[in-house]
Amino acid sequence: MNIRKLIFEGESDTLDFKKTITNCEKIAKTLVAFANNKGGRLLVGVADDGTIKGVKSEDEEKYMLNKAAHIYCRPALEPVFEEIYVDDKVVLVAEIKESDTKPHAALGEDKKWWVYIRVKDKSLLASKIVVDVLKRGNNTTGTHIEYSDKEKTLLEYLDNHQRITSEEYGKLMKLPRRKAQRILVNLLLAGIIRLHTTEKEEYYTAS
- Measured at the CA of 44, the angle between CA 43 and CA 47, to 5 degrees, comes to 90
Domain presence at residue 130? no
Please tell me what DSSP assigns to residue 46.
Answer: B
Examine the domain organization and report whether 90 and 110 are in the same domain. yes
Closest among 55, 43, 53 to 17, alpha carbons compared: 43
- The CATH number assigned to the domain holding 60 equals 3.30.950.30
Q: What is the pLDDT of residue 199?
A: 87
Examine the domain organization and report whether 36 and 79 are in the same domain. yes
- The CATH number assigned to the domain holding 191 equals 1.10.10.10
Residue 16 vs residues 47, 109, 112: alpha-carbon distances, Å = 10, 21, 24
Q: What is the pLDDT of residue 144?
A: 60
Please tell me what DSSP assigns to residue 75.
Answer: S
Examine the domain organization and report whether 12 and 113 are in the same domain. yes
Examine the domain organization and report whether 100 and 13 are in the same domain. yes
Domain presence at residue 131? no
Provide the residue-wise pLDDT of the chain in tens; the chain has 207 residues: 899 999 999 999 999 999 999 999 999 999 999 999 999 999 999 999 999 999 999 999 999 999 999 999 999 999 999 999 999 999 999 999 999 999 999 999 899 999 999 999 999 999 999 999 999 887 655 556 667 899 999 999 999 999 999 999 999 999 999 999 999 998 998 889 999 999 889 999 999
Domain ranges, residue 178:
136-206
Domain presence at residue 175? yes
Q: Which of 102, 125, 148 is the last residue of a domain?
A: 125
Taking the C-alpha atoms of residue 8 and residue 11, their distance in angstroms, rounded to an integer, is 9
Examine the domain organization and report whether 101 and 17 are in the same domain. yes
The separation between the first and the last C-alpha atoms of the chain, rounded to the nearest angstrom, is 35
Q: What is the pLDDT of residue 138?
A: 73
Closest among 55, 45, 36 to 6, alpha carbons compared: 45
For residue 75, say if its preceding peptide bond is cis, omega within 30 degrees of 0. Answer: yes
Examine the domain organization and report whether 61 and 157 are in the same domain. no
pTM of the model: 0.87
Q: What is the pLDDT of residue 74?
A: 98
Please tell me what DSSP assigns to residue 127.
Answer: P
Examine the domain organization and report whether 153 and 110 are in the same domain. no
Taking the C-alpha atoms of residue 48 and residue 53, their distance in angstroms, rounded to an integer, is 10
Total tally of structural domains belonging to the chain: 2
Examine the domain organization and report whether 114 and 163 are in the same domain. no
Domain presence at residue 196? yes
Q: Which amino acid is at 115?
A: V
